[in-house]
Amino acid sequence: MGTNPLILKKRLQLTLLSPWKKDFPALNEVSADLSPGRLSYLDSAATCQVPEIVIANVADYLRAGQGNAGRGMHGLSERATTVIENCRQKVAKLIHCNSEQITFTKGTTESINLVANGLKHGITSNYSILVTQLEHHSNLLPWQQLCQQTGAKLNVLPIDARGNIDDSQLDMFLSENCALFAFTHCSNVLGNQPNIQHLTDSAKHFEVATLIDGAQAISHDDVNLQQIDCDYYAFSGHKLYAPGGSGILYSKDHSNLEPLLLGGGIVNKTTIADYELRTDSLRLEAGSANLVALTGLSSAIDYINSIGYGAIQRHEQALVTELVQRINNETSFDIVSSLNSKNLVSFFSPKYHCHDVASLLAEKKVAVRAGHHCAQPCLQAIGVKHCLRASFGLYNDSDDIAQLIEGIKEIEETLA
Ligand SMILES: Cc1ncc(COP(=O)(O)O)c(C=O)c1O
């Protein structure tokens, strides 16, 4: 059972502590930028810190000797194969699918590119692709390129000024010989979650394939792919408390996909003139696997399971509520993120450039993200050029919020 966050009454103000913060050396020992002082790390939507248990497991793996999977009969090579296949099973269990449906990549971006590239052979100018205006560039540019290369039409479901998808044209776009509908599970700017079940079911009704970008949802949502029943789901290990370098692509059926990369480990037979690909999902994983990343991912999944998504959600939701209140009550900044956001708060002020504010906050050891967050069409729709984003992980607490708010207040005074 997950541990509940400890709530203390302190001078009539509720203070949220994190029972998990002690697990993260980067936030307890040497701070991330090596300068003295307490670090308020509020950039987990970009990448999460890594718990000690994951670091220790990765170190143990390396200490025992690394091997290259599937390429040798010796113990270290066999162990590497076991690491990969164990990790595949853990990922499959986490998102409720079969391990043969999991392909490892280096991140969400590569997973989406793999699908866009992998379907290209079957797309002509008679087809269309559908995306939404809420997307991160990783779930937009690969589809733009696919359409540019094949002559297919790119349709876009617009969003309103609050980031809600306007689905009044959904059926019309899906019926336009649509080959695939790609949409996000959770916006990295606004934190809102489209009704992915409705979008997937609507696409299925028109026999349109679906790809869901799960990069932001995976750290706080129990993703059940048996229930959602999309065709592809993509996410990254580093947004799930694992080290960088692992990405996941779920494919309900990978047989349609051409590999993104060609090379070792993906063929049944090769002659000097030609090659015959394997039929299992390993045909999509050419080259040597990133064993460090996959060892870390396995361990991070164990860590998440030991806490439980319910506890993570309750903790992060309480932090979001507290930060929204404090920004509204104590600063001149406006909130642009959704009221339903589970783990991030985006805010801006027309008086200041967000890069100036983020740089000054960094001097006060507050790490937030600023800019267009690789989602320029989304920002255009909400009428904001750039904004600041504070995003939470399970290690954050009320002191992180206090450090941010004090920092903003001082900056407002300095720049006034
Ligand atoms: C919604 C969304 N999609 C895709 C990505 C790309 O993820 P990665 O850089 O791990 O490939 C991100 C990264 O922040 C994201 O927030």
> Residue 290: CB within 6 Å of ligand 1?
no
- How far from 306 is each of 299, 310, 346, 380, CA to CA, in Å? 11, 11, 30, 40
CATH of the domain at 268: 3.40.640.10
> Residue 132: CB within 6 Å of ligand 1?
no
Same domain, 226 and 293: yes
Give pLDDT, residue 385. Answer: 93
> Residue 136: CB within 6 Å of ligand 1?
yes
Question: pTM for the complete prediction?
Answer: 0.95
Residue 277 scores a pLDDT above 90: yes
Final residue of a structural domain among 282, 305, 328? 305
Identify the active-site residue in 178, 186, 230, 374: 374
Give pLDDT, residue 9. Answer: 43
Q: Which atom of ligand 1 is nearest to the CA of 46?
A: 14
Q: How many domains does the chain have?
A: 2
* Among 253, 262, 330, residue whose Cα is nearest residue 97: 253
> Residue 215: CB within 6 Å of ligand 1?
yes
Tell me the pLDDT tens digit for each residue of 328-348. 999 999 999 999 999 999 999
Work out the average pLDDT over 310-314. 97
221 within a domain of the structure (yes/no) = yes
Give pLDDT, residue 10. Answer: 46
Same domain, 321 and 228: no
Same domain, 132 and 214: yes
Same domain, 389 and 325: yes
Same domain, 215 and 318: no
59 within a domain of the structure (yes/no) = no
Cα 268 to averaged position of ligand 1 atoms, centre (Å): 33
Tell me if residue 374 is catalytic.
Answer: yes
Tell me the pLDDT tens digit for each residue of 371-407. 999 999 999 999 999 999 999 999 999 999 999 999 9
338 within a domain of the structure (yes/no) = yes
Tell me the pLDDT tens digit for each residue of 187-227. 999 999 999 999 999 999 999 999 999 999 999 999 999 99
Tell me the pLDDT tens digit for each residue of 344-371. 999 999 999 999 999 999 999 999 999 9
Final residue of a structural domain among 265, 285, 305? 305
Same domain, 258 and 121: yes
Give pLDDT, residue 2. Answer: 44
Cα 56 to averaged position of ligand 1 atoms, centre (Å): 26
Task: Give the number of other Cβ atoms within 10 Å of residue 75's Cβ.
Answer: 11
195 within a domain of the structure (yes/no) = yes
Cα 240 to averaged position of ligand 1 atoms, centre (Å): 12
Give pLDDT, residue 31. Answer: 56
Same domain, 233 and 95: yes
Give pLDDT, residue 1. Answer: 41
Final residue of a structural domain among 265, 289, 305? 305
Range of the domain at 70: 65-305
Residue 29 scores a pLDDT above 90: no
> Residue 107: CB within 6 Å of ligand 1?
yes
Testing ligand 1's pocket by substitution, the residue of 44, 236, 239, 290 carrying the most ligand atoms inside 8 A of its CB is: 236
Tell me the pLDDT tens digit for each residue of 54-77. 999 999 999 999 999 987 789 999
Cα 141 to averaged position of ligand 1 atoms, centre (Å): 12
Residue 151 scores a pLDDT above 50: yes
Work out the average pLDDT over 85-105. 98
257 within a domain of the structure (yes/no) = yes
Return the structure tokens found at 247.
């990405």
Residue 416 scores a pLDDT above 90: no
Residue 139 scores a pLDDT above 60: yes
35 within a domain of the structure (yes/no) = yes
